[in-house]
Chain A
Amino acid sequence: MDDPLIIGGESFTSRLIMGTGGAASLDSLENALIATGAEMATVALRRIDPGAHGSLVEVLERRGCRILPNTAGCFTAHDAVTTARLAREAFETNWIKLEVIGDERTLLPDPVELIDAAETLVDDNFVVLAYTNDDPVLARRLADAGCAAVMPLGSPIGSGMGIRNPYNIAIMVERASAPIVLDAGIGTASDAALAMELGCDAVLVASAVTRAQEPAAMGEAMKKAVEAGRLARRAGRIPRRLYAEASTTFEGLPDLSG
């Protein structure tokens, strides 16, 4: 499509961002990446495994994907900020997908720690893409804090439950002063299409693709869903109505009574 996604002053043709978690192998991940056409993909930082086979960074660079480090697993602003600074050293990028988790079971964000970390990182010249709850007020606060993108969840990470509160996502989009990227909960292609129909600027998928039975096929489905959803949004859907609105005129209807 002719309108690129702009985040942090950078332009992207693809509106599908890939999360790399959950892939069975680097080969599987690479094939899925190709199928999605993603131009940006997340990576996490963990203790080095000297026995690891292959390099995730090399795969992403080979596919021309911008590396978006994340702060997955951090429960405090302090840990998230330190992780972001470590990622800046490791990957020579000031881009960060900021995650500050408040609860192990739901993996829902901790809004207080999130805002604190976002403000610190923006002050430290990071380009912050903030993973957040589907809360329009929190989204506005993050955008006001200078986040380059606000990334609301559709439902909990890895749940595949889709978008549980589309009205909140629609409110965020309407009031957004930063790009809105639907981040978590996508289960299948229709969820990604709905995100775009609601007006989101992009979608991030990980588990829905990497853990699908055929990751590359699901990657292609997601790519098409994002494109279709975007097109539908721009095309302007018809209003919902309770009763039928005949698409065929009653005028000129013949009298066929016996």
Chain B
Amino acid sequence: MKVLVNGRERELTDGSSLAKVVRAARGDELGRGVAVAVDGEVVPRAQWSEVTLGGGERIEVLAATQGG
């Protein structure tokens, strides 16, 4: 199945969790300073491993950057 992660298409095995996507995008442990939205809705950190993706989702994995 395919999902969009930060605007790029990614191929995932069926039934992948959101946590797996976040881990892949981040490149290391799921730490502080990262936030995730799926189809424009905030998904709290505690739910990342519980959310199973069905394909076609638009996932944003965000982190702190300089600004303001």
Residues of A within 8 A of B (CB): 19-23, 29, 42-50, 52, 55-57, 67-70, 72, 82, 85-87, 89-92, 97, 99, 206, 210
Contacts and interface: CB of A to CB of B under 8 A. Distances in A.
B35 A68 contact: no
Contacts of B42: 82, 85-86, 89
Given A47-B6, A48-B26, A23 B35 contact: no
Q: Is the interface of B mostly helix, strand, loop or mixed?
A: mixed
B27 A20 contact: no
Contact of B66 (A43, A47, A48, A87): A43
B67 A21 contact: yes
A49 B60 CA distance: 12
B65 interface: yes
Nearest to A72: B67
30 contacts: A20-B67, A22-B66, A23-B66, A42-B68, A43-B68, A44-B65, A44-B67, A44-B68, A45-B63, A46-B62, A46-B63, A47-B6, A47-B61, A48-B61, A48-B62, A49-B63, A55-B64, A56-B66, A57-B32, A67-B64, A68-B68, A70-B67, A72-B68, A86-B42, A86-B62, A87-B35, A89-B35, A89-B44, A99-B68, A210-B66
Interface in B9-38: 25-27, 32-37
A57 to B, nearest CB: 5
A136 B8 CA distance: 44
Contacts of A44: 64-68
A151 to B, nearest CB: 11
Q: Is the interface of A mostly helix, strand, loop or mixed?
A: mixed
A43 B64 contact: yes
B19 to A, nearest CB: 14
Contacts of A90: 32-35, 62-64
Contact of A20 (B6, B26, B68): B68
B45 interface: yes
Nearest to A206: B68
Nearest to A26: B66
B61 A43 contact: no
A65 to B, nearest CB: 12
B61 A89 contact: no
Contacts of A22: 66
Contacts of A57: 32-33, 64
B20 to A, nearest CB: 15
Nearest to B25: A48
Nearest to A22: B66
A29 B66 contact: yes
B25 A45 contact: no
B31 to A, nearest CB: 9
A89 B33 CA distance: 8
B40 A48 contact: no
Contact of B37 (A19, A43, A82): A82
> Which 10 A/B pairs are nearest by Cβ-Cβ distance?
A44-B67, A42-B68, A90-B35, A86-B35, A50-B27, A70-B68, A48-B63, A47-B6, A20-B66, A89-B35
